[in-house]
Chains A and B, each alone.
Chain A
Amino acid sequence: AQKVTQAQTEISVVEKEDVTLDCVYETRDTTYYLFWYKQPPSGELVFLIRRNSFDEQNEISGRYSWNFQKSTSSFNFTITASQVVDSAVYFCALSERFGNEKLTFGTGTRLTIIP
């Protein structure tokens, strides 16, 4: 069975600080996909990134970066120079390739950026 753990329930940082959101996953499949979604206070879910299990390269998009490490089953998300607009709940999710169509979500990390 697949499982996603986001151990950090809530994080608060002062604006311009860097912050890392942790995500640890479990799966028996050798091919799988990892995702991060952002849920701002308005409530919608915004897709941020997808990572394939066979591609361990880290990715950077502006102030956002993702560190995927198969050896530790982790897919961590770092925001550099945080801004108030980054305040949201962030979800990590996992999808296996075969036999399971669903996204399994972690319980989310509520990030608050203090101005």
Chain B
Amino acid sequence: NAGVTQTPKFRVLKTGQSMTLLCAQDMNHEYMYWYRQDPGMGLRLIHYSVGEGTTAKGEVPDGYNVSRLKKQNFLLGLESAAPSQTSVYFCASRRSTSYEQYFGPGTRLTVT
């Protein structure tokens, strides 16, 4: 039981490049989330999904897109990376009947 996994663990992008972060969970959770963590700001919600085929905007969605084609996967895309998107990205998931979220190990992204 791997829990929540994220790919890749580290990535360096040049401004304007695109990339996709993959989150996978094997706990059959309905809800999935993408957060970013910046120094002194805690975690902020980017996008979330309450089920396969559905997504919604969080607190800081600009510059990101997401897709949830399969229940176990939640993809976060950056179409044109900017230095302001340098951050650590966390994926999380939870059951619809419970409120605690379980987090992946994080992806450290640097945009130069």
| A95-B99 in contact given A43-B88, A43-B106, A102-B59 (Cβ < 8 Å) | yes
Query: For residue B90, which residues in chain A have a CB less than 8 angstroms away from its CB?
Result: 45
Q: What residue in chain B is nearest A32 (Cβ atoms)?
A: B99
Query: For residue A105, which residues in chain B have a CB less than 8 angstroms away from its CB?
Result: 42-44
Min CB–CB distance B47 → chain A (angstroms): 10
Q: What residue in chain A is nearest B58 (Cβ atoms)?
A: A102
What are 21 contact pairs spanning A and B, CB under 8 A?
A35-B100, A37-B103, A43-B105, A43-B106, A44-B103, A44-B106, A46-B103, A47-B102, A47-B103, A50-B100, A95-B99, A101-B50, A101-B56, A102-B33, A103-B33, A103-B43, A105-B42, A105-B44, A107-B40, A107-B41, A107-B42
Contact surface of B with A, Cβ cutoff 8 Å = 31, 33, 40-45, 48, 50, 56, 58-59, 88, 90, 92, 99-106
Interface size class of A (residues with CB under 8 A): 10 to 19
A107 to B100, CA, bound (A): 18
A47 to B98, CA, bound (A): 13
Q: Which of A35, A44, A45, A91 has the most CB of B within 10 A?
A: A45
Q: Are A101 and B42 in contact (CB under 8 A)?
A: no
| A47-B100 in contact given A101-B48, A102-B33, A102-B48 (Cβ < 8 Å) | yes
Q: What residue in chain B is nearest A33 (Cβ atoms)?
A: B99
Q: Are A50 and B40 in contact (CB under 8 A)?
A: no
Min CB–CB distance B14 → chain A (angstroms): 24
| A101-B31 in contact given A106-B42, A107-B41 (Cβ < 8 Å) | yes
Q: Which of A31-77 contact B (CB under 8 A)?
A: 33, 35, 37, 43-47, 50
